[in-house]
Amino acid sequence: MRFAGIFIISLLLFAPGVSSAAEWVQETPGQRAYYDSRGQLERLEIDADRDGCFETEEHYRKQRRVQRREDLDGDGQWEREYRWHKDGSAELTEQGRKGKLQKTFYGVDGAVTRIEKDSDRDGTFESKWEYNAGVLQRVTKPRGMWHYNKKGKLRRAELDEDRNGRTERVEYYQGVNRLAKVEELAANGKVRSTWYYDSNGKPQRAEEDTDGDGRLDCQRRYHANGTMEQTTDADENGVPEIRELFNASGTLISREEDLDGDGVYDLRTGKLAKH
C-alpha cells in the first residue's frame, strides 16, 4: 500500500515491565496525523491556511473522534473545543472575549439540548437555555426565568427585577410573544396587583390588593378615549363604595361614593362623563 507524505517511526526503548510500542506520523501539506502501533489514528493536526501553524487538533479513540480543538485567531490558544461521547451526544465549549465562556450541549440526534453561559468566568454559568427536540423551552438568567410551549413560543416569564432571589413579577403571553397579563407580587409571594392587556399591548384593566390581605379591593378600567375608571371596595364585600374617573394625564375628573352600602352612589362630585 502506498501512502503520500513522509513517515516517521518512533520506537520506545525496551525495559523490564515496559511493552514495545510504535507511533506512526504521516505528514501531508497542511496536515499531520499520528497513529498508534496498531495503525489506528490517535491525533490529527490541521493547518488549513498552510501558514505553518496548526490551528486545529483532533483526537481519536478506537477509530472514533472524541475531541476537536480550534485556535480561531492564531494566538496559540484554543478558543473552541468539541467533545463527542460514546452515546452520540456532544458538547461545544467556546471561549469568547473578556473571559466569557459558553457551552452548547447536543443530543444523540445532533439537536441542541442546552446552552450555558459564564459571563464573568467565575466558574458559574449564570444563564441557561434549554431545548426539547431543538425547540427552546426555558431560559434562566439572573433576573428571571422564561418558559416556552412545545412550539417555542413564549408563554410565561418569572422576573426577579432587583435580583434579590425573589420573584416580583410574572408575565403571561399569548399568540406570538404578546403580553396578555402581568402579576406583581408582594414580599410574601401573594399577588399584589394584576394587569390585563389588549392585542396592541395597551392596558385594559387592573386589579390591586391595596391593604395586603390577599384580596383584590381596587379595580381600574382603561377606556379608548384615554380615561381611566377606578373603583374601590374597602370593606371587600363585593360592592365598591367609591368610583373615580381620571383623564389621560391622571387628573381626577369625578368621584362618586356609596355612603350606605346599597350599591347606589349617593354622593357625586366633579364632572360626570359617559363611558
Using CA atoms, how far apart are residues 134 and 69, in angstroms rounded to an integer? 24
Mean pLDDT of the chain: 87
**Would 136 be classed as within a structural domain?**
yes
Judgement on whether residues 28 and 118 belong to the same structural domain of the protein? no
Residue 111 is inside which H or E element, if any?
A: none
Query: Are residues 127 and 191 part of one domain?
Result: yes
**pLDDT at residue 133 greater than cutoff 70:** yes
Position 74 pLDDT exceeds 90: no
Higher local confidence (pLDDT), 214 or 90: 90
* 33 and 158 part of one domain: no
- Please check whether residue 51 lies inside any domain of the structure: yes
Q: Which residues pair with 57 in a beta bridge?
A: 45, 69
Task: With respect to residue 262, please indicate whether it lies within any of the assigned structural domains.
Answer: yes
Is there a single domain that holds both residue 109 and residue 241?
Answer: yes
Q: Is a pLDDT exceeding 70 seen at residue 66?
A: yes
More confident: 239 or 168: 168
Answer whether residue 264 shows pLDDT above 60.
yes
Q: Rounded mean pLDDT of 201-220?
A: 90
Judged against a pLDDT cut of 90, whether residue 84 lies above it is answered with: yes
In a domain? residue 19: yes
CA diameter of the chain: 109
184 or 237: which carries more pLDDT confidence?
184
On the question of pLDDT at 273 being above 70, the answer is no
Residue 11 lies in a domain: yes
Of 234, 232, 240, give the one whose Cα is nearest residue 264: 240
Please tell me whether residues 86 and 187 are part of one structural domain: yes
Q: What's the rounded mean pLDDT across residues 144-165?
A: 95
Q: Is the pLDDT of residue 195 over 90?
A: yes
End-of-domain residue from the set 14, 42, 70: 70
- The residue range of the domain holding 239 is 71-270
Residues 6 or more apart from 259 whose CB is under 8 A from it? 266, 267
Q: Is the pLDDT of residue 243 over 80?
A: yes
Do 93 and 198 fall into the same domain? yes
Residues 89, 10 share a domain? no
Using pLDDT thresholds of 50, 70 and 90, give the confidence band for residue 10.
very low
Same domain as 52, residue 85? no
Neighbours of 141 (CB within 10 A): 16
* Separation CA 242–CA 254 (nearest Å): 11
pLDDT value, residue 260: 82
Average pLDDT over residues 205-213: 90
Spatial separation of the C-alpha atoms in residues 102 and 149, rounded to whole Å = 25
Q: CA 209, CA 188: separation in Å to the nearest integer?
A: 13
Phi, psi at 97, each rounded to 5°: -70, 155
Question: Is 39 in the same domain as 86?
Answer: no
Residues 11 and 88 grouped into a single domain: no
Looking at the fold, whether 135 and 59 belong to one and the same domain comes out as no
User: What pLDDT shows up at residue 16?
Assistant: 34
The single-letter code of the amino acid at 263 is G
Q: Write out pLDDT tens, residues 21-50.
A: 437 888 889 999 999 988 999 999 999 888
| Domain end residue (candidates: 70, 99, 124) | 70
* Residue 275 forms part of a structural domain: no
SS3 string, 251-263, reads CEEEEEECCCCCC
> Which grid coordinates belong to 46?
490541521
Q: What's residue 272's pLDDT?
A: 57
> 3-class SS at 219?
strand
Domain boundary among 70, 104, 125: 70
Average pLDDT over residues 48-57: 90
Judgement on whether residues 102 and 219 belong to the same structural domain of the protein: yes
pLDDT of residue 8: 35
What mean pLDDT do residues 156-174 have?
95
Counting the structural domains of the chain, the total is 2
**Region 183-212: what's the mean pLDDT?**
92
